Amino acid sequence: MYTSKSRRSMRVMGLVLLLAFLLSSVAIAAPAPEKPSVTAASAIVMDYDTGEVLYEKDADTMRVPASMTKVMTAYIIFEELEAGNLTLDTMVPISAANAQRSRDGSNYPASVPLPAGSSVSVDTLLKLILVPSASASCIVMAEYISGSEAAFVQRMNATAQRLGMTAEYKNSHGAHVHYLTARSQAILVREFIHRFPQILDYTSLTGVSFNGKWYPNTNKLLPGLDYAYSGVDGFKTGTISAAGYCLSATAVKNGHRIISVVMKSSNDRTRHTDSRALLDYGFAMVEYQSPYADVAYHWCREDVASLKDLGVELHASGDSFRPDEVITRAEFTAMLYTALERSNALPELPETASPEETTAPENTTLPEETPASEEITLPEETPVPEEPVQTEPLFYDIYGHWAQDYIQKAAQLDLITGTDGYFTPDRPITRQEMMVVLDRCLELPDENGLGFSDDDDIALWALEAAARTSAAGLFQGGNGNTLRPEATCSRAEAVTVLSRVIDML
């Protein structure tokens, strides 16, 4: 048997547990990540997907990049490969002068001896430039591409200007002093990966063998090396006395890429520990800035964030957007209507479908017109019934639905239609259905963007809409240039399409 004292103790304990539960249920905003402690003179962290700078320290001061210079040299080599002026198998001759430079560790540090009078492939020279940071190999490629290193340097500076960099290149290798900013190096790395993603096949190498000798990568953030950081697949170090220790790096976590740059660190260890701290902070900021926990590293993150900021109804569940779930007809209608509303782009009401328009109840017979001279006398005890005022009828299956108001308004604007009075709001929407809806609400030019391998799968009722929306760039094919018109759309795909819609309004 419980005593009164024990019962009071149990009640107190129950109240404590209840209070703890209630407090745990309160959503408390997570604090912003603490900024990294960086010893390097200049540093920057950039979101690869958006170009957003997540952290910077004196990022616009011109500093000596040392061998990070070689990133621009490699970028121009890749431009030549793209243009067809080179192939990876192209054999490049090694002059006696360059063979001598390749052995001159005092004036051209990071020396990798090249055989005079022979030829080395572009592929091998790229590996020597990017992995052990061979300076003479840069001069070999510069002379082969532009006729002289001086002419090549002019191209380096012109390329930097085109990319929006602040740089003053004076050589192709960085063994001698010239200047650029940490921000500019991050811009170049981002552009390089975006335009030539195959560069990561080189920068991710932990070492390279040449003429019987193994040369390790100087970027020790790579897997298995001294300062290994999960997800790192490049980029480039730089070290001379005037520069201190520099390192540009990039890493991927859950499909999201971050770029970091440090310049003028005091030693090899700190440039790597600084870079690790910067990458940690960059990924933490991506999570912190994410509009929903489950899109922090998702490819749709930027579109979800922009639509949420605009005030679009995304039908999220607390801190979950559910990007990979299929989107229903109701969800897409709510997203579309609020996106157009917030962008001041809702179409005008059709003349025949005003929201104030009234309709007579079904099965009601109106009396014939009564001549003005006749008077109708009703019994006093019989009140004259007031005829109910009705708005445009709703679909039968949306009463009480969370999206009822959005569906009703969209229907009045003729953006959506149902079948036999039903809308089926919770049925997933297909790509071709989405095309038809967008074609109804946008004034798209009558152009044909088709030409996909599965054009024959498009229903006849969706063919014209598919042609116009594809031409406008709202829908794109997948692998093998397929459109997948009958496939259902995910919520992530829907926000991407709506972001494109907003961009073209």
Nearest to 112 by CA among 173, 66, 200: 173
Those residues with Cβ within 8 angstroms of residue 394's Cβ, 6 or more apart along the chain or in another chain: 404, 407, 408, 411
Which tens digit of pLDDT belongs to each residue from 442-501?
999 999 999 999 999 999 999 999 999 999 999 988 767 899 999 999 999 999 999 999
Q: Is 504 left (phi over 0), alpha (psi -120 to 50) or beta?
A: alpha
Q: How far from 393 is each of 356, 408, 418, 479, CA to CA, in Å?
A: 12, 9, 12, 43
The pLDDT of residue 307 is 95
pLDDT in tens, 169-203: 999 999 999 999 999 999 999 999 999 999 999 99
> Given this model, what pLDDT does residue 478 score?
73
Q: Give the span between the Cα atoms of 332 and 327, in whole angstroms.
A: 7
| Dist. CA 125–CA 134, nearest whole Å | 9
pLDDT reported for residue 351: 63
Quick check: 40 and 158 in contact, CB under 8 A? no
Give helix then strand counts, H and E, for the chain. 15, 11
Q: Could you tell me the pLDDT band of residue 350, with boundaries at 50, 70 and 90?
A: low
β-pairing, 207-210 vs 53-57, is unpaired
Determine the Cα–Cα distance for residues 456 and 453; give it in Å rounded to an integer: 8
Q: 258 by DSSP, 3-state: which?
A: strand
Phi, psi of 328 (to 5 degrees): -85, 170
Is pLDDT above 60 for 407? yes
Query: Exposed/middle/buried for 59, CB within 10 Å: 0-12, 13-18, 19+?
Result: buried
* pLDDT score, position 225: 94
What mean pLDDT do residues 131-138 have? Answer: 95
pLDDT of residue 139: 97
Residues annotated catalytic, as ranges: 67, 70, 133
What pLDDT score does 30 carry? 59
What pLDDT, on the 0 to 100 scale, is given for residue 365? 34
pLDDT of residue 391: 52
Predicted local distance difference test score (pLDDT) of residue 50: 87
How far apart (Å, rounded) are the C-alpha atoms in residues 42 and 47?
A: 17
Rounded Cα distance between 298 and 492, Å, is 9
Q: What distance in Å separates the CA atoms of residue 229 and residue 233, rounded to the nearest whole number?
A: 9
The arithmetic mean of pLDDT across residues 145-167, rounded, is 97
Tally the C-alpha atoms within 13 A of residue 261's C-alpha that lie toward its C-beta.
31
pLDDT tens sequence across 25-37: 333 445 788 999 9
Q: Which residues contact 119 (CB under 8 A, 6 or more apart)?
A: 91, 92, 93, 94
| Cα→Cα distances 283→266, 287, 289, 351, Å | 25, 6, 10, 52
Q: What SS3 class is residue 223?
A: coil
| Rounded-to-integer distance, Cα 410 and Cα 334, Å | 8
Q: What mean pLDDT is predicted for residues 50-59? A: 94
CA-based nearest residue to 440, from 460, 469, 418, 420: 469
- Higher-pLDDT residue of 275 and 20 is 275
Q: Which domains does the chain have, with CATH numbers?
A: 42-289 (3.40.710.10), 301-348+390-504 (no CATH)
337's CB contacts (< 8 A; 6+ apart) are 313, 346, 406, 409, 410, 415
Answer for the pair 170, 176: CB distance below 8 angstroms, yes or no: yes
> What local confidence, expressed as pLDDT, does residue 110 receive?
82
56: nearest Cα among 261, 253, 221: 261
The residue among 73, 130, 131, 134 whose CA lies nearest residue 109 is: 134
Average pLDDT of the residues of the chain? 87
**Of residues 416, 404, 426, the one with CA closest to residue 326:** 426
Which tokens in the block code for residue 502? 């907003």
Backbone angles phi, psi at 31, to 5 degrees: -70, 155
pLDDT recorded at residue 357: 43
pLDDT mean over 391-417: 87
Provide the β-strand partners of residue 108. Answer: none
Please name the residue ranges forming H helices in 239-300.
268-289
Instruction: Please give the Cα distance from 182 to 188 (Å, whole number).
Output: 10
Tally the residues of the chain: 505
Tokens representing 483 are 């459109």
In whole angstroms, give the CA distance from residue 366 to residue 421. Answer: 24
Round the CA-based radius of gyration of the chain to a whole number and report it.
Answer: 33
Within 39-181, residue ranges assigned H as helices are 70-83, 96-101, 122-130, 135-146, 149-162
**For residue 320, pLDDT beyond 60:** yes
The confidence score (pLDDT) of residue 481 equals 86
Q: Give the distance, in angstroms, between the CA of residue 446 and the centroid of all CA atoms in the same chain.
A: 30
Asked whether 320 and 292 are in contact (CB, 8 A), the reply is yes
Q: CA-CA distance, 285 to 494, in Å (whole number)?
A: 25
Q: pTM of the predicted model, to two decimals?
A: 0.69
Q: Helices 404-412 & 329-342, crossing angle to 10 degrees?
A: 70
Confidence of residue 387 (pLDDT cuts 50, 70, 90): very low
Dump pLDDT digits (tens) for 72-128: 999 999 999 999 999 999 999 999 999 999 999 889 988 899 999 999 999 999 999
Q: Tell me: the pLDDT tens digits for 414-456?
A: 999 999 899 999 999 999 999 999 999 899 999 999 999 999 9
Q: Which residues contact 97 (CB under 8 A, 6 or more apart)?
A: none
359: which 2 tokens?
């309709």
d(CA 287, CA 302): 12
